[in-house]
Chains A and B, each alone.
Chain A
Amino acid sequence: MSLLEIRNLHANIDGTEILRGIDLTVEPGAVHSIMGPNGSGKSTLAKVLAGDEAYEVTEGSIMLNGVDLMEMEPDERAREGVFMAFQYPVEIPGVSTKYFLRAAVNAVLKHRGKEELDAVAFLKKVKETAPTVDLDPALLDRAVNAGFSGGEKKRAEVFQMAMLDPVMCVLDETDSGLDIDALRVVANGVNALRSPERGFLVITHYQRLLDYIVPDVVHVLVDGRIARTGGKELALELEDKGYGWVESDCGSACGC
């Protein structure tokens, strides 16, 4: 059984159709990358997978390990094992990161029928995990993302991903706003999480991230559809020729 199966997915926001029939299958252990020009629907796809209610899904299906996600609320999907690293992590003053994360970790553990972590066990896990993304644990005493630098926010996202032990990781332009050193740290954090059971959907605008997180499959999203699929060399080709190449190529080849 495939890990993630997306069939004919259509979604719109405020009446504008953004996704126009996405078909995508991710096998366990695979890293897929989604690339595409601005406005092609990359972030929309990430948010729709996570269950953002701002988007209306009009057609299609999303299955995770054979379980239908479509009727699930965002929190139910997260407990099932979907994790989306936000492009713009939200600042929530007044809620401590540590508290929020322990609540999240325990919600997931409870759903999996595992024992919840007490404060001591949770801190132990934090201390083990934080160094993998070079995250200062003192940040966790602060409010969720509040006053974090751009790099800290992205590292905190990957840190949360590691803490929550998801089966399907969706990274929504995690590289945006990162300098080259931070990019390497974040990529190493992601690579450390690669495992035979876990799948990744790495959404990015630039090929650069894929030097560090090497994908098995690259998809190019154009105008709400997957216009081209290939191996990691496709990303390099795109870098060379630009998205216009895929768009025109798509136009003549498939007549869509």
Chain B
Amino acid sequence: MTTMTTFIDTLNDTAAGDSMRTAAAARFAQRGWPNRRDEAFRYLDLRPIKDIEWALHGGTAVQSPMNLDLPGTRRLVFTAGVFDEAASDALPEGVTVEHVPTTITAEDDQFSSLCMAAAETTLHVKVGEGVTLDTLHVIHETRGGDVLVAPRCVIEVASGGTLIVVESVTLESDGGTVLCTPITEIIAAPNARVELARLVDGDEGTWCCGTIAVKADNGAVVHTSTVPYGGAVCRTRLESHLCGETAHVDLRGLAVAGDSRHVETVLKVRHAAENCTSNMIFKHVLDDNATASFTGRINVDEGAQGTDAVQTSRNMLLSPTARAYSRPQLEIYADDVKCTHGSTTGRPDPAADFYLRARGIDKVTTASLLVWAFASEVLDELEPAALRVEAARRLMDMLPGGDALDPTVVAPQQPDTA
């Protein structure tokens, strides 16, 4: 209790004078750390981090940055939560690092309250009507012990505007735990197009518990991809609100996890207008004692006729002690809707294994190829295109024998382009 009280005091001290932050601190104080009786946190054991005396915004640069090679993108670097102007490219017009006094448009949870209470700056991206902004590569790097970092990003894209954002989060623990609670809000006006990819890497002492909140108006198209490469815990809450007709969201996630890592996705897609479509695909490859949980909720409001929602969660287990939990949840109050969900969990297909090996490909390479075959579908859609190769390269680096695979040629062409 005393650790919690001290922590709340620290939050309040740093937030003093800012009503949004103090209100968020109060919300966090009221609810406290989540526990497993809370349905949304049922599979997440938070005990390792509850009693830590967190320092806010400490930490240093990391020793092994992700180094994504994304030509033509604007790099914006945040080191230990602070914008590093010297290491960054010039901010394009409409992009500022400031404090934006808005509250999160989506539903709040403990980690988003915490982020809003702790975040001192916000990366604010405004894309004007019909404007296509340069692709942004937002880099968050933090190394430290018992440090809390709260990156916050608000993306507003006006009618017909287009934006691609890549967020790469690298966390390194240095004699303690790093907790990162990134929130990115995407507000897409009619016919806007937004692509967001969030890649997270970390080690056995890093936790990333973040939120991506999407609001899509008439005809807007928003794609998000979440790829947790590493870290003890990587949790992403995805809140999508389809509030204008024919809006579309595409939510994708891929994780390859071993050791005792835990990967978690809690998503909610709310269809609040007519003829909106949503597509969700989440894949996990789990080895050793890794666990993954997926909770996918689709809400269809009264009157949201013509809704078409497709949800898929697939898990590949490489060890008998890996665990995958999958919970689709549908809540439908309209009558002319199509909502499908499917979930599969299993081992790699022995028939495919035999087929590849019967052609002379060794056991280890075959195993890697099959993981790749399972996972690649999620990476195929990443934007910009250079990110597909980079994401594939990192994935292959994680697979035994994966260095023998060539990420530029291993992926097949899609039948429609062949």
Contact = CB atoms under 8 A, between A and B. Distances in A.
Given A75-B366, A94-B374, A95-B412, A141 B360 contact: no
B411 interface: yes
Interface stretch (B100-108, B141-149, B348-356): B348-356
Contact of B363 (A75, A79, A96, A146): A75
B360 A107 contact: yes
Interface in B366-405: 366, 369-370, 372-377, 404
Contacts of A213: none
Interface string A31-55: 0000000000000000000111110
B369 A100 contact: yes
Contacts, number: 110
Contacts of B404: 103
B373 A75 contact: no
Contacts of A92: 352, 355-356, 369-370, 373
Interface in A78-125: 78-79, 83-84, 86, 89-90, 92-101, 103-104, 107-108, 111, 119
Interface string A178-211: 0000000000000000000000000000000000
Contacts of B355: 86, 89-90, 92, 144
A1 interface: no
Contacts of A54: 350, 354
A164 interface: yes
Contact of B410 (A84, A89, A96): A96
Contacts of B365: 103
Contacts of B411: 94, 96
B37 interface: no
Chain B interface residue bracket vs A: 20 to 34
Interface residues of A, number: 41
B134 interface: no
Nearest to B409: A99
B2 interface: no
A7 interface: no
B418 A138 contact: yes
A238 B377 CA distance: 49
B413 interface: yes
The 5 closest A-B pairs by CB, nearest first: A94-B373, A96-B412, A78-B360, A104-B359, A143-B412
Interface of A: 50-54, 73-75, 77-79, 83-84, 86, 89-90, 92-101, 103-104, 107-108, 111, 119, 138, 141-144, 146-147, 160, 164
9 contacts: A75-B361, A92-B352, A94-B376, A94-B411, A96-B410, A100-B359, A103-B365, A107-B361, A142-B418
